[in-house]
Amino acid sequence: MSADIVPLPRRQPEEPASLDPILSLTAPGMNAVNAVILDRMQSEIPLIPALAGHLIAGGGKRLRPMLTLAGAELVGYQGTRHHKLAAAVEFIHTATLLHDDVVDGSEMRRGKAAANIIFGNPATVLVGDFLFSRSFELMTEDGSLKVLKILSSASAIIAEGEVDQLTAQRKIETSEERYLNIISAKTAALFAAASRIAAVVAECNEEKEEALDAYGRNLGVAFQLVDDALDYDSNAAEMGKDQGDDFREGKMTLPVILAYARGDEDERAFWKAAIGGHRTSDEDLAHAIELIRRHGTVDATRERARMFAQRAIDAIAIFPDGKARQAMAEAARFAVARGY
Amino acid sequence: MSADIVPLPRRQPEEPASLDPILSLTAPGMNAVNAVILDRMQSEIPLIPALAGHLIAGGGKRLRPMLTLAGAELVGYQGTRHHKLAAAVEFIHTATLLHDDVVDGSEMRRGKAAANIIFGNPATVLVGDFLFSRSFELMTEDGSLKVLKILSSASAIIAEGEVDQLTAQRKIETSEERYLNIISAKTAALFAAASRIAAVVAECNEEKEEALDAYGRNLGVAFQLVDDALDYDSNAAEMGKDQGDDFREGKMTLPVILAYARGDEDERAFWKAAIGGHRTSDEDLAHAIELIRRHGTVDATRERARMFAQRAIDAIAIFPDGKARQAMAEAARFAVARGY
């Protein structure tokens, strides 16, 4: 036996994972998509491109259109129809972000002042409506009724999910089941649709369509779970929004649902007050983060996310191995690992 | 000569006109449309039908879907596809009303508390999004790409018109030209689309499509002109909204644009202050109404409306005379005469 002290390995909770493979896979296509986005957010009313551009140029990851492009690579699609449709997907997403910011009274988005702060709620609502209409114009130009059905249905489900989330806000009794329903609707439905339409333009069979849908849907759930975990993760290196927003808004996300379930009587009383909007100071947030750490519910949330990411990866196992499948699998692992 | 004093006839500024003929023409179809509306505003999220129902059951005239049904009668369409599409039109309209009420901070709508007052801005924005998505689901179910193109384009134009109106708000220098562009976009585009799609489902030729489009478009302009006149018409018997809303919000509508143009220096100073938001008391409103009466700009606005209504009537002269054409012509005359 050696006398050297072997240090315990530092906790490496995730395999290293990166978005780079999917970024390079989709880079040429994303240039085309970005060109459509910039072209079609124009209007004779100058406030529209000004407001839309503030958010669109604001450095989002464009994950959803990327899924359409990656899916197209995966199924070997050779055409260009998916560029317009991927732009339509991003417009739907942008419209929901604009409306979300009004709904939540957000102050920051992607590290900048949110559009509603700069341009006001009225213009932000209306430009969201414009982008939403524009997305349906793009789909109609493409002409696939199947794509229109998938994306109009996803849009209705997103709105339902957002309303459901609003209804659950400040309700401490929200269950994990209901929470999962909410994020499946408000986030995963568009991920699923964005992936699925790649199979539709490529005229794949139903099995492949379903596989891409399942990839996107599970990835979307994983993505939202980690987003919600990051809001309470004191170790988080990367923050997409102001930490503590969910707490102050009384949103019932999984780290809180589990901390409430695992907590003792005093802790539950604290959560009731906090989610009810009566304890929302910085000290209260620090206490919430401490309780969440005590019960390991950020890790538990990531654990759920890991399972959904694995389901995403398994869903595309029916496709031949190759660059596209590997990039998509790594994107799913990245969705779980990000923030570390 | 008789010794009897013949009284001067009371001022009869319009021929008597009524919505009754178009109401009876479309009554059976409207039952079918209402059934679609009630069915498709449902959701598992109870807040959605509650909020949507508050506005939808709130006694709107359903003028836009009525135009689709009347147009279908005019062209002799025998099918039922237009019921779903007319419901889609009403959903688009309802979505824009919900968003408008948030944008304007309205307190009343159709004589009841506005949805945003009862349910809050967040839910009102999101249920608008839901209805908007639902309308595209309905169109997609119908399956006509031509209808989808007409209505998605109209939706984008409505949003542009609303943003443009927002930009013109509190700007005294807004011209009649710009005002007409705004109302053509925010109001007349949907009237035009609602009428036009009747010709599309009936597979009419381009000439008939254009004729129905022109009918709806001109009717929409006339309708909005009179709406804007009523906001300053001290004789108005019927008020769809709180009189003076436009004044307090600094909206540049035609009665104000003309009163400013025709006013002397003092009057212009008053209008600048009022539209700028610095003179919005009840006394200021009374003074504004007095200036508008002095320069006859409510009547001048109605005069414009009469011309647009006549263009609407002339546009459908290419169709054979009959119950449908007469009902549509009388609806156009009613649009001008209402409020007397």
For residue range A204-251, list pLDDT tens digits in order. Answer: 999 999 999 999 999 999 999 999 999 998 776 544 456 888 999 999
Kindly state whether B44 is in contact with chain A, defined as any CB-CB distance less than 8 angstroms.
yes
Q: Are A45 and B123 a contacting pair at CB < 8 A?
A: no
Question: What pLDDT is stored for residue B15 in this prediction?
Answer: 61
Alpha-carbon dihedral B318, B320, B326, B327, rounded to 10 degrees: -90
Kindly state whether B96 is in contact with chain A, defined as any CB-CB distance less than 8 angstroms.
yes
Least confident of A281-285, B2-6, B324-328: B2-6
Question: Percent of chain B beyond pLDDT 90?
Answer: 84
Does the domain formed by A20-337 have CATH 3.20.20.70?
no
pLDDT tens for each residue of A281-303: 999 999 999 999 999 999 999 99
Question: What pLDDT is stored for residue A62 in this prediction?
Answer: 95
Q: Are B136 and A130 a contacting pair at CB < 8 A?
A: no
Q: Are B145 and A149 a contacting pair at CB < 8 A?
A: no
First-to-last CA distance in chain B?
34
Q: Where are the alpha helices (DSSP H) in chain A?
A: 20-40, 47-56, 63-74, 81-104, 115-119, 121-142, 145-168, 176-183, 189-201, 206-230, 245-249, 254-262, 265-275, 282-294, 297-315, 323-337
Q: Are B123 and A158 a contacting pair at CB < 8 A?
A: no
Closest CA to B241 of B81, B76, B87, B109: B109
Mean pLDDT of A26-55: 96
Mean pLDDT of A110-120: 89
Closest CA to A225 of A166, A179, A156, A167: A179
Cα distances from B22 to residues B26, B90, B257, B280, in angstroms, run 6, 17, 33, 39
Kindly state whether B144 is in contact with chain A, defined as any CB-CB distance less than 8 angstroms.
no
Higher pLDDT, B185 or A245: B185
Question: What pLDDT is stored for residue A85 in this prediction?
Answer: 98
Closest CA to A159 of B78, B251, B51: B51
> What is the band of B339 on the pLDDT scale with cuts at 50, 70, 90?
confident
Question: What pLDDT is stored for residue A111 in this prediction?
Answer: 78
Mean pLDDT of B136-156: 98
Domain residue spans in chain A?
20-337
Contacts of B143 in chain A (CB under 8 A): 145
Q: Considering the entire predicted model, what is its pTM?
A: 0.93
Question: What pLDDT is stored for residue B79 in this prediction?
Answer: 97
Query: By three-state DSSP, how is residue A109 classified?
Result: strand
Residues in a beta bridge with A112: A109
Which tokens go with A87? 């732009």
Q: Are A45 and B130 a contacting pair at CB < 8 A?
A: no
Residue A129: closest CA among chain B residues belongs to which residue?
A: B159
Per-chain mean pLDDT for chain A: 93
Who's near B284: CB < 8 A, 6+ residues apart?
A: B247, B270, B274
Question: What pLDDT is stored for residue B11 in this prediction?
Answer: 44
ipTM above 0.90, yes or no: yes
Q: A102 vs chain B: nearest CA distance in angstroms? A: 7
- Please say if the pLDDT value at position B340 is more than 80: no
Q: Report how far residue A271's alpha carbon sits from residue A253's, in angstroms, rounded to the nearest whole number.
A: 12
pLDDT tens for each residue of A47-83: 999 999 999 887 788 999 999 999 999 999 999 999 9
Least confident of A4-8, B265-269, B302-306, B331-335: A4-8
Q: How many Cβ atoms from other residues are within 10 Å of residue A251's Cβ?
A: 21
CA dihedral sign, ordered A77, A83, A88, A93: positive
- Please say if the pLDDT value at position B45 is more than 50: yes
Residue B44: closest CA among chain A residues belongs to which residue?
A: A160
Question: What pLDDT is stored for residue A11 in this prediction?
Answer: 45
- Which among B43, B47, B152 is the nearest to A133, CB-wise? B152
Q: Are A102 and B123 a contacting pair at CB < 8 A?
A: no
Kindly state whether B265 is in contact with chain A, defined as any CB-CB distance less than 8 angstroms.
no
> What is the band of B60 on the pLDDT scale with cuts at 50, 70, 90?
confident
Contact present, A181 and A164 (Cβ < 8 Å): yes
Backbone phi and psi for residue A109, each to the nearest 5 degrees, phi listed first: -150, 125
Chain A and chain B share a number of CB contacts under 8 A equal to 139
Contact present, B203 and B91 (Cβ < 8 Å): no
- Give the CA angle between residues A294, A298, A302 to the nearest 5°: 145
Contacts of B95 in chain A (CB under 8 A): 129
pLDDT tens for each residue of B26-35: 999 999 999 9
Question: What pLDDT is stored for residue B191 in this prediction?
Answer: 98
pLDDT tens for each residue of B63-105: 999 999 999 999 999 999 999 999 999 999 999 999 999 988 8
Kindly state whether B153 is in contact with chain A, defined as any CB-CB distance less than 8 angstroms.
yes
Question: What pLDDT is stored for residue B6 in this prediction?
Answer: 55
Question: What pLDDT is stored for residue A106 in this prediction?
Answer: 82
Kindly state whether A79 is in contact with chain B, defined as any CB-CB distance less than 8 angstroms.
no
Who's near B216: CB < 8 A, 6+ residues apart?
A: B67, B71, B188, B191, B192, B193, B194, B195, B196, B312
Question: What pLDDT is stored for residue A9 in this prediction?
Answer: 45
- Which among B44, B153, B164 is the nearest to A45, CB-wise? B164
Region for A322 from its dihedrals, namely left if φ exceeds 0, alpha if ψ lies in -120 to 50, beta otherwise: left
Question: What pLDDT is stored for residue A6 in this prediction?
Answer: 55
Higher pLDDT, B297 or B17: B297
Mean pLDDT of B8-24: 72
Kindly state whether A92 is in contact with chain B, defined as any CB-CB distance less than 8 angstroms.
no
Question: What pLDDT is stored for residue B104 in this prediction?
Answer: 86
